Amino acid sequence: MEHYVQNFSQGSQREKELLGGKGANLAEMTGLGLPVPPGFTITTKACLDYLRQEGFLEKLLPELEKHMEQLEKDMGKKFGAAADPLLVSVRSGAAISMPGMMDTILNIGLNDESVQGLASSTGDEVFALDCYRRLIQMYGEVVQGVPAYRFNHRFEKAGNKASWELIDSFKGIIEKETGNSFPQDPRKQLLGAVEAVFGSWDNRRARVYREANNIPHDLGTAVNIQAMVFGNKGEDSGTGVLFTRNPSTGEKKIYGEFLPDAQGEDVVAGTRTPLDISEMSSKFPREYGELEEIAHRLEKHYREVQDLEFTIEQGRLFILQTRRGERTAEASIKIATDMVDEGLISVEECLLRVKPTELEKILHRQLDADQDYEILGKGLPASPGAASGVVVFDADEAEKLGEKGERVILVTSETTPDDIHGVIAAQGVLTARGGMTSHAAVVARGMGKPAVCGCESIKFSREESLAWIGNFKISQGDIITINGGTGEVIKGEAILKEPELSPATIQLLKYADQHKRLGVRANADNGPDSEKALELGAQGIGLCRTEHMFMGRERMPLVRQLILSESPEEKEEALARLLPYQKKDFQEILEVMEGKPVNVRLLDPPLHEFLPQLLDLQQEIFAAEKAGDQQALIRQKELFRKTKNMDESNPMMGLRGCRLGIMLPALYRMQVEALASAAKILEDQGKELELEIMIPLVAEAKELSFLKEELREILEEKINPEGKVRYKVGTMIELPRACLTADEIAREAEFFSFGTNDLTQTAFGFSRDDAEAKFLPAYLEDGILEENPFITLDQKGVGRLMKIAVEDSRKVKPELKIGICGEHGGDPKSIAFCHSNGFDYVSCSPYRVPVARLAAAQAAIKAKSPAI
């Protein structure tokens, strides 16, 4: 039978699943002979049994007893003894790091009696009482559910100084709030703490975090019980955290913070602003040297940047925990590529260590250097990038406005795990207190959002729901800008500049290109976007949406004439006048992408998208009626009639895509003619071009053959077969029936490009707009769907259709070029799917191109070594 409890000296880092990350690392460090306070781990298995209530206690109690006895022996102290008692900490630690999510209780073992033993063994009654005060407070909050402010308020009133009087009043708070008293029995304290940690696995904030980070709910957490050491035993004590490299920039230099005469919670909670770790070298030179050596050893041992917690108790250094150091995306890339240079890891490992989505984060917007700002204040540069938004003082409010699409900056004294939803909704975070490793900073960096922390000049006036930054008053709704790279807080909305790739990123992407098999293209409809795409490494245009070229002041009247006129001549005239615009747009794109494939999709949306809304038109009719303007009335009524005539019940499945091309052949002819003419100009300049003409929304092969026949003459007349312009005609596969009859369609097509947005809509029968507004959020919350299928490809259903299409079409035409365009083309999981199903390329928005390049490389590496 499996044990619930395991001593640090028995385990290793390989047992992360059972021991949690923290426990496994404590075991590993113990094994390495590092100065770790002794202790043991209660496993995740025990947590799951606890949550299921399956014979938990009967099994746990004897094991716990045995290990506590061992710990007493190791420490030469007795748990709960009146004199020099053994005190322990209880900390949670899940397999996957969840910073700030789970709870910690320190100083377990103290009670009215043993606190006096601690006082006499340390000769410091204030210290002993403070330890006891802390235990009661933590226990009250975590185990007994008393709101933190009740204790804080009383503590502040007592001048932040522990005393017997304070302790009595803390006990009174607990009794008043819960009807129970603070337990004096140390074993009862211990068990309560363990159960509270296990229980907290299922609390709301933990579930929210896991959902936001796609962590399964059935892992459970472990609990680590460890002998207490004290960083708050006076001037020769202290506590700190340390990163083996800079977690913000990736620079290879110890980075961290140190707080003399304090316990670790003071650093993490951000309630006191700590010193930079470099200051330790003068104040604790020996311990600093020791720390440097340990940091180096751990990094080499783990082949990974470490995030250590340490405590110095009266001149003696203890390592309390080590774990993989969380870092910014930028640091992640720099560290991975540096480690290749240092020979620590292989290129493949380097590529796998960076999350593709991190590449999107580093494309942070920055403040444009050429503008003048009014700087309101300055804090720590806690998470890079700049953001502007309206000030919001409360996480709930931030979420509410964020859901409405407003850009908000969450401004608060400090964030707690309860504020997670507000951070998710905000563009950036500004806090008055806390350092670089405070909760707000860690969370914001994890999400790639700008954050400025510890901006101490902010003073809140809760009652009036406003704040002062220095002498400047900010109220909810005011606009500010934060610069997470410098720590500046700026008045109003600033001009933000698009980001550039760092040398490390360029190196990483070079590695990626050497390993990927998939081509990566971009979706772009104009010259500037095409240039951006090229700069970010796109190998061509995978989707040029021609409908965007129908917008614009001069074009709209022509488009409306095309749609509404009832005479073929007027329609032809409108098309003839639209042609030069289309031609110019195409020419710009082709110039940028010279020599690379450019895929142009013929008009796809229903024409009534270019018309006014019926409700608006009706309103104009009433206005004209009211004003007695007979001419306007007749005109508006006519427009209303024609527009109503075009109205559809389900436009997404109506007269659009190739159906439009079949019903109004002159439209597609104009578009192809514009494209061919643009190509001709470039050809005359001696440029090579590779055009792909894409016919959208095909459900039946004959739609494609019909339109190919319609367009053949124009293509054959306009494109010289011996010239420098090559072209292919193909189709978008975006309907289930297209997948199911892909063999027939492949006979007519030279390429396929999967339009997985529409394919997802039709496979699920979900209109994306309606689903996301009306029921998809509830589906995700209730777990009916695990992921939003419009963001991550639904492999089970939609993916199966795609597999059928790829297999059937390649049987008929092995050389068929197959790609994907649309949002899924930039989603790493979906890219892995495309890799393993033999796609030729993916196409995504320009800013996602680096993401796709890395994801494609990872897919190729993982396919070669599936064990990774």
Residues in the site for its own copies, rule: CB under 8 A?
A: 614-615, 618-619, 622, 648-655, 659, 662-663, 697, 699-700, 702-703, 706, 734-737, 740-741, 744, 758, 761-767, 769-771, 774-775, 778-779, 782-785, 794, 796-798, 800-801
**Smallest separation (angstroms) from its own copies to the CB of 810:** 18
Query: What is the rounded CA–CA span in Å between residue 536 and residue 316?
Result: 51
CB of 741 to its own copies, least distance (A): 5
CA distance 867 to 695: 41
Task: Report the relative pairing of strands 39-42 and 5-7 from DSSP bridges.
Answer: antiparallel
Contacts of 522 (CB under 8 A, 6+ apart): 529, 530, 532, 533, 536, 538, 540, 541, 542, 843, 844, 845, 846, 849
Q: How far apart are CA 205 and CA 421, in angstroms?
A: 9
The least CB distance from residue 770 to its own copies, in Å, is 4
Minimum CB distance to its own copies, residue 496 (Å): 32
Which tokens go with 746? 């492949």
CB contact at 8 A, 414 and 438 = yes
- Record the tokens describing residue 704, joined without a space: 């494609």
| Rounded Cα gap, residues 532 and 522, in angstroms | 9
Token couple for 314 = 């009266």
Shortest spacing between CB 222 and its own copies, in angstroms: 30
CB nearer its own copies, residue 509 or residue 697: 697
The residue among 212 and 652 lying less far from its own copies, judged by its C-beta, is 652
Nearer of residues 462 and 796 to its own copies, judged by Cβ: 796
- Report how far residue 128's alpha carbon sits from residue 280's, in angstroms, rounded to the nearest whole number: 26
| Cα–Cα distance for residue pair 237/231, rounded to 1 Å | 5
CB of 64 to its own copies, least distance (A): 38
Cα distance between residue 433 and residue 438, in whole Å: 9
User: What's the Rg (C-alpha) of the chain?
Assistant: 32
Q: Which residues form the catalytic set? A: 439, 821
Q: Which is nearer to its own copies, 375 or 614 (CB)?
A: 614
Total Cβ atoms within 10 A of residue 370 = 7
The length of the chain, given as a count of residues = 868
How many Å separate Cα 506 from the centre of its chain?
22
Sequence letter at residue 748: E
Of 21, 386, 56, 348, the residue nearest 195 (C-alpha) = 56
Work out how close the CB of 242 gets to its own copies at its nearest, in angstroms, rounded to a whole number. Answer: 45
Closer Cβ to its own copies, 662 or 681, answer by number: 662
Nearer Cβ to its own copies (365/747): 747
Residue found under tokens 């100083």: 107
Q: What contacts 276, CB < 8 A, 6 or more positions away?
A: 256, 257, 258
Minimum CB separation from its own copies for residue 606, in Å? 9
For residues 506 and 662, which CB has a smaller minimum distance to its own copies in the complex? 662
206-234 exposure pattern, b = at least 16 Cβ within 10 A, e = fewer: bebbbeeeebeeebbbbbbbbbbbbbbbe
By the 8 A CB rule, do 861 and 853 touch?
A: no
Q: Tokens 């195409």: give the residue.
A: 586
Q: Which is nearer to its own copies, 28 or 744 (CB)?
A: 744
What residues pair up with 429 in beta bridges, in sequence order? 410, 451
Contact 411, 476 (CB under 8 A): no
Residue at 338: amino acid letter: D
Q: Shortest gap between Cβ of 289 and its own copies (angstroms)?
A: 57
- What 399-408 contacts at long range (C-beta under 8 Å, 24+ apart), as own/partner pairs, is 399/424, 399/425, 401/425, 402/426
Q: In angstroms, rounded to a whole number, what is the distance separating the alpha carbons of residues 854 and 684? A: 37
Chain-centre distance for alpha carbon 105: 30
Toward its own copies, which CB reaches closer, 373 or 706?
706
637 or 687: CB nearest its own copies: 637
Provide the CA 431 distance to its chain's centre, in angstroms: 20
Euclidean distance between CA atoms 77 and 681, whole angstroms: 89
Of residues 90 and 801, the one with the C-beta less far from its own copies: 801
